[in-house]
Amino acid sequence: MGITEILGYLGALLIGVVLGLIGGGGSILTVPVLVYLLSINPVTATAYSLFVVGATSLFGSIRNFQKKRVDLKTAVVFSIPAFIAVYLTRKFLVPAIPEIIFSIGNFDVTKNIGIMLFFALIMIMASVSMILEPSEKEAKPRKVKFNYLFITLEGAVVGVLTGIVGAGGGFLIIPALVLMAKLPMKRAVATSLVIIAVKSLIGFIGDVQNLEINWIFLVVFTLISIAGIFLGIWLNRFIDGRKLKKGFGWFVLLMGLYIFWKEIF
């Protein structure tokens, strides 16, 4: 096992630790770890990422169900358009992307480069969301109020984005639940994990029909990530994860800019 492969599996542990510490954001690292450290094709990496993100979010959701933080009605309303969109994206849209999207002079923007550039853009958007997020304060209890049209549209948009880049999209889901369903922040975070778990795993089903999956590698990588979640939850006793969130946001921003530079130059 080479040094980059060892770093790749350590990256899987880091993904889980970040999720356990700050409650989200760690999954944005999954695709870069798979592509740059473990040399996996970007299309396959986004598929593997859906499985890892879905499985790890599922474990987080179990804890939130036990604490009665999940708003099931909101999760269902948001999840249905999201998982339909992510399944259709993985089953039909991603395979339909041409191998060379367009050319600029002698530079060909291939399917792999296009996916990584789009992923870098999503990373930068996620990082800005983490950096600018106000300190978390529990909102006063208020009646959940739905804007069904906007929640449905947002669910479909998040589903397409998740399908293309393989990330959870919590940075888009949580504001939507706070603004459109009027959920308090902690309930929005807990509910978003359920939505991410459902749509990611259903999106992965679309890949099983199109790609050859290395199940042994995928299960091992996922189990390491899940172990990282428990390590992160344990570290939460000594470290305030919320204070780390802005710092992690800056790290994700630098990673996004690095991917842009690497793919173009």
pLDDT at 44: 93
Average pLDDT over residues 246-250: 84
Predicted pLDDT at 139: 46
pLDDT score of 119 more than 80:
yes
Q: Is the pLDDT of residue 140 over 60?
A: no
| pLDDT interval class at 221 (50, 70, 90) | very high
> Which pLDDT belongs to residue 163?
86
Residue 24 has pLDDT above 80, yes or no: no
Number of compact structural domains in the chain: 1
17-26, 48-57, 58-67, 109-118: least confidently modelled range: 17-26
The pLDDT, as a whole number, for residue 168 is 66
**Boundaries of domain holding 166:** 3-264
0.85 exceeded by pTM: no
DSSP conformation letters of the chain? --HHHHHHHHHHHHHHHHHHHHSSSGGGGHHHIIIIIS---HHHHHHHHHHHHHHHHHHHHHHHHHTT---HHHHHHHHHHHHHHHHHIIIIIHHHS-SEEEEETTEEEEHHHHHHHHHHHHHHHHHHHHHHPPPP-PPPP------HHHHHHHHHHHHHHHHHH----HHHHHHHHHHHS---HHHHHHHHHHHHHHHHHHHHHHHHTTS---HHHHHHHHHHHHHHHHHHHHHTTTS-HHHHHHHHHHHHHHHHHHHHHHHH-
